[in-house]
Amino acid sequence: MLTRKDLYNYGARVFYVGYCDAEALLNGCDRIGANGGVYGWNWSAYRPAHDIIINTGYRNMTGEDARRVTRDYEKQAREIFNN
């Protein structure tokens, strides 16, 4: 189980998006871990590039908010994925 601090120990920039807000973009990326608590699963972390970590989930996420940036790309990726 990963902690928020663990994400920064990778030495990469950390971003977050909501649950399923980057599902198509992260398709094919390996999950490096997840976080959970009293209420169950909180988030999962992905490393799509050596200097970027994206965590996606419901609560207790950390990093810079990337939803505004990923919104358009996610839409395009879904169209490609669905075709």
pLDDT tens per residue, range 45-59 = 999 999 999 999 999
For residue 83, the model assigns a pLDDT of 86
For residues 49-78, give the mean pLDDT: 93
* Residue 18 domain boundaries: 4-82
**Strand, coil or helix: 68:** helix
How many domains, in total, are found in the chain?
1
Are β-strands 31-37 and 40-49 bridged in parallel, bridged antiparallel, or unpaired?
antiparallel
Cβ contact 70:22 at 8 Å: yes
For residues 4-29, give the mean pLDDT: 93
- What is the strand order of the sheet 52-57 is part of? 31-37, 40-49, 52-57, 13-18, 64-65
H helix and E strand count, the chain: 2, 5
